[in-house]
Amino acid sequence: MKKTTKHCLSTILHLKISTESKKKQSSHGGIQKQQQN
């Protein structure tokens, strides 16, 4: 259970970092697209 939880947390962190980098690249346009989806 603990190993699975750590793996999930690391995956979530990776997703957050990737989404933040995308927001910086595409600025407001990227945020609007994410809200629509």
Q: Give residue-wise pLDDT tens across range 1-37.
A: 577 788 888 999 999 999 888 877 766 555 555 555 4
3-state secondary structure of 34: helix
DSSP string covering 1-31: -HHHHHHHHHHHHHHHHHHHHHHHHHHHHHH
Cα 3 to Cα 21: distance, rounded to the nearest angstrom: 27
Cα 9 to Cα 7: distance, rounded to the nearest angstrom: 5
Task: Give the pLDDT confidence score for residue 1 in this predicted structure.
Answer: 56
3-state secondary structure of 37: coil
Task: Give the pLDDT confidence score for residue 34 in this predicted structure.
Answer: 55
Task: Give the pLDDT confidence score for residue 15 in this predicted structure.
Answer: 93
Task: Give the pLDDT confidence score for residue 10 in this predicted structure.
Answer: 92
Task: Give the pLDDT confidence score for residue 21 in this predicted structure.
Answer: 85
